[in-house]
Structure 1
Amino acid sequence: MDDYQVRPAVEQDLDAIVALWKEFMKHQTGIDPRLKVRADGEPHFRTWAAEALSLPRRTIFVAHSPSGELVGYTLVIIASNPPVFEPAEYGYIQDAFVLESFRGKGIGWKLTQAALAWFKEQGLAHAMLHVLDKNERGIAFWRQAGFDSFLHNRRLELI
C-alpha cells in the first residue's frame, strides 16, 4: 500500500487521466448498460479535466505506482445546494477510479483521503457522491469509507 502515492494532478497527467477515465467508463457501463457515454464524451471529459487543473472549485488527485504509472484518479468539485438548503456548498466526488489490477492495495482509500482533506481545506461540512445501484463493490467501498445512504435516485425510461 505504501508504494503507491497520491498527489494533485498536473497538466502533464492529462493524457493518462483521460485514459483512466475511458477505463472507468468501460467499467461503469459494464455494470449497468443504461449508463451511456456520448460519442463525443472523451473530448468533453478532456476539457472538463483540464479545467479542473486550474479552476478553484475543482481538482483532480492521481495515484501512481512506484514506477510512476498512473493507476487511479479522483475528480472532485465544490457543488452548490439549492438556496433553500444548508450548507450552501458541499464536496462532491464526481469520479473515483482505480485500475482493476491495482485494486485492493489501499489506493482508493488514499485517493478518498486526499479528496476529503481537500474538501476540509475548502471549509466544506460534508461530501457526497453517486454510486451505481448495481456496483456492489463500490457500495461496499464507500460504506467502509464512512459514507452512508442519503438519497435514492430513481430512473424511468421515457423513450
Structure 2
Amino acid sequence: MGIQTRYATEADGEEILDLWHGFTSHLSEYDERYSHSGEANERWLQYFENQLVDSKYGIVLLAESDDADEPIGVLEARVMGDHPIFQLDNHGYVNGLFVREDYRRQGAAAKMLEAAAEWFSEEPRDVDYYRIDV
C-alpha cells in the first residue's frame, strides 16, 4: 500500500471536515470542552478557506492511500511569529495531526510531518524549526 501526501485545496473542505471530526471526537473523549459548538462546521470551513487555502504561511496537508477513496490523514501547519514570553523567533506550528484508525502505524503521520518540514523550510517561510502540541 502506497501513502502519498499533498496540499489540500478548497475542494477538499468537506473531506477534511470529516477528518477534523475524527480528531476532535478523540479530544472530546478526554475533555468535553472540545465538543463542537452548533456552528463548528461552518466556522471551520470558513477558517480553512480564508486562512489556509493558498496561504503563504499556513497549509493543510492530506495523506492518501492507494487503497482508500478518501484522505486517510490530515495535518495543519502554520508559521507563528515571535513568542511574547519565550525566546522563540518565527517558528512553525503543527496542529490537528490525525490519521484514520485503520491506517495508523503505517507511516502516514511521518510522511505528513516530512512534507510539513519541507514546506516550513521553503521561501518565504524559511523556518528553522517547528513545534507540535500533543
TM-score, with length taken from structure 1: 0.73
Shift of 1:74: 0.6
Secondary structure (helix, strand or coil) at the match of 2:54 reads: coil
Question: What amino acid is aligned across from residue 129 of structure 1 in structure 2?
Answer: I
Cα distance in 1 for residues equivalent to 2:31 and 2:87: 33
Shift of 1:27: 1.2
Shift of 1:77: 0.6
Cα contact 1:22–1:42 (8 A) shared by 2: no
Cα distance in 2 for residues equivalent to 1:82 and 1:6: 30
Shift of 1:11: 2.0
Which residue is equivalent to 1:61?
61
1:1-159 equivalences in 2 (<5 Å)? 3-51=2-50, 52-66=52-66, 67-82=68-83, 86-121=87-122, 122-131=125-134
Cα distance in 2 for residues equivalent to 1:99 and 1:47: 23
- Please say which of residues 76-85 and 22-31 is displaced more in the overlay: 76-85
Cα distance in 2 for residues equivalent to 1:84 and 1:69: 41
Across the aligned residues of Structure 1 and Structure 2, the Cα RMSD in angstroms comes to 1.9
Question: What amino acid is aligned across from residue 102 of structure 2 in structure 1?
Answer: S
Cα distance in 1 for residues equivalent to 2:117 and 2:30: 26
Output one character per residue of 1:13-44: Cα deviation in whole Å (capped at 9) or x when no partner. Answer: 11101111111111111133343432222211
Aligned pair count reads: 130
* 5+ residue gaps, structure 2: none
Cα contact 1:87–1:125 (8 A) shared by 2: no
Question: What amino acid is aligned across from residue 20 of structure 1 in structure 2?
Answer: L
Identity percentage of aligned residues: 25
- Determine which structure has more spread, i.e. the larger CA radius of gyration: 1
Q: Provide closer, same or farther for how the CA distance between residues 32 and 83 of structure 1 changes in structure 2, counting only shifts above 3 A.
A: closer
Which residue is equivalent to 1:143?
none
Secondary structure (helix, strand or coil) at the match of 1:70 reads: coil
Cα distance in 1 for residues equivalent to 2:36 and 2:89: 30
